[in-house]
Amino acid sequence: MDDALTPHEASVVDRAKAWAAVDVAPVAESWETDRRFAAEAFAAAASAGLTGLLVPVEQGGEGLGPVALARVVEEAAAVDLCAAFSLVVHNNLAGALSRRGPADLKVRYLDDLVSGARLGAFLLTEPGVGSDAAAITTTARRTATGWVLDGAKAWVTNAAGADVLSVYATTDPAGGHRAIAAFVVEADRPGVRPEPTYQLFGGHGLGTGGFAFEGCEVDDGSLFVAPGEGFRAAMEGIDLARVLVAAMCCGMVRTGLETATAYVADRRAFGKPLADLQAVRFTLADVATDLAAARLLTFRAARTLQDGVSGAVDAAHAKKFATRAAEARLADCMQVMGAAGARRDHPLPRHLATARLTHYLDGATEIQDVVIARSLLGPSENA
């Protein structure tokens, strides 16, 4: 897979690996113990030039495609998923703005997003809607000078530190997905109220929370994606994010396999190395097989997107398989380590908690089944 990378892309992957080792690994556990957002990881990523990965070189970014970006986040998540996914959300917004944003919006925000001077967030999910993105109820009402936003958003990664919000709203509550538009809104703008961040069983480094919009006035220049195009734009970003979640799962499983293999090679029980027990050997062999399969599905999906082909189904296959494999196989890696698998002096407990969260990121596992089944059988009468 690395053979498909250009020398520049490979150098960015190496840079991300160094960032994860130097700036993320020493503090990642503290984000859980202190239940706080991984703000210092993003600041270090900005210094490492990792905050404009999808933005073309001529606009100040790194110009990565989906394959190289998947490798970047695989390496990052091998250390910590929260730091990796925070970076994905930010880079997805910066990349989308560079591709489809009006010139005025680029002038206002793109340089700061690329440099990491400002942190971006993606606001689609709502408290009462969940995965049914076409049913969002946050409204954008036209005025003489712009728009007024009202509603609430939930499950926003980077909410704890976001400066720039990509907000999806309906311009006609009866219009379904055809009425959805997107706006770029500053988090400190009047009418924007951040909600307390969520207390979760893991993944606090994501800084997940919500926002309320109460008569939030924005000008015409804040319109990012026109009404009627917002839903498609959101789904394009989500397809890429699903591939990247799968890549992050591969990184976590790889760390689990490396950690467990090293442990059983050194540990003795019943008069012999743990690595000599057939049950241990076969368990780790199963982990290795699922890791290989997850990586192949992931990078097939990334290649499909890179080739400009509709990648929704490949992305769904990759995310569905990789998230299930991550949770199950990380648990297996911890199990062969015995009680030592539960210790927090290695990253496996942290990885297992965030592996559970990957089942919900960018569409629950059941939504992947909807996408896959639709490709086989067409739309359901009940859908």
Which residues 6+ apart lie within 8 Å of 41 measured at CB? 23, 24, 27, 28, 80, 82, 83, 86, 87, 205
Q: Which long-range contacts (CB under 8 A, 24 or more apart) does 6-15 make?
A: 6/68, 8/62, 8/63, 9/64, 9/65, 9/67, 9/68, 9/71, 12/49, 12/50, 12/53, 12/62, 12/64, 12/68, 12/72, 13/68, 13/71, 13/72, 13/75, 15/48, 15/49, 15/50
pTM: 0.95
List the domains of the chain with CATH numbers. 2-118 (1.10.540.10), 121-228 (2.40.110.10), 231-377 (1.20.140.10)
Residue 342: both structure tokens together: 């539960």
Instruction: Kindly give the confidence (pLDDT) of every residue in the chain, 383 residues in length, as a single tens digit, with 9 standing for 90 and above.
Output: 788 899 999 999 999 999 999 999 999 999 999 999 999 999 999 999 999 999 999 999 999 999 999 999 999 999 999 999 999 999 999 999 999 999 999 999 999 999 999 999 999 999 988 777 778 999 999 999 899 999 999 999 999 999 999 999 999 988 888 999 999 999 999 999 999 999 999 999 999 999 999 999 999 999 999 998 988 898 888 999 999 999 999 999 999 999 999 999 999 888 888 999 999 999 999 999 999 999 999 999 999 999 988 899 999 999 999 999 999 999 999 999 999 999 999 999 999 999 999 999 998 989 999 999 999 999 876 65
**What is the reported pLDDT for 310?**
86
**What is the reported pLDDT for 1?**
72
Strand 192-194 to strand 180-186: parallel, antiparallel, or no bridges (unpaired)? unpaired
The candidate with the shortest Cα–Cα distance to 31, out of 246, 202, 265, 210, is: 202
| 3-state class (DSSP) for residue 286 | helix
**What is the reported pLDDT for 383?**
53
Return d(Cα 377, Cα 383) in angstroms, integer: 12
**What is the reported pLDDT for 202?**
95
Return d(Cα 230, Cα 241) in angstroms, integer: 16
**What is the reported pLDDT for 331?**
98
Strand ranges for 288-364 from DSSP E:
none
Residue 304: both structure tokens together: 């499909």
Residue 44: both structure tokens together: 């270090």
Which residues 6+ apart lie within 8 Å of 224 measured at CB? 97, 100, 101, 102, 105, 166, 181, 182, 183, 184
Residues 19/42, Cβ–Cβ less than 8 Å: no
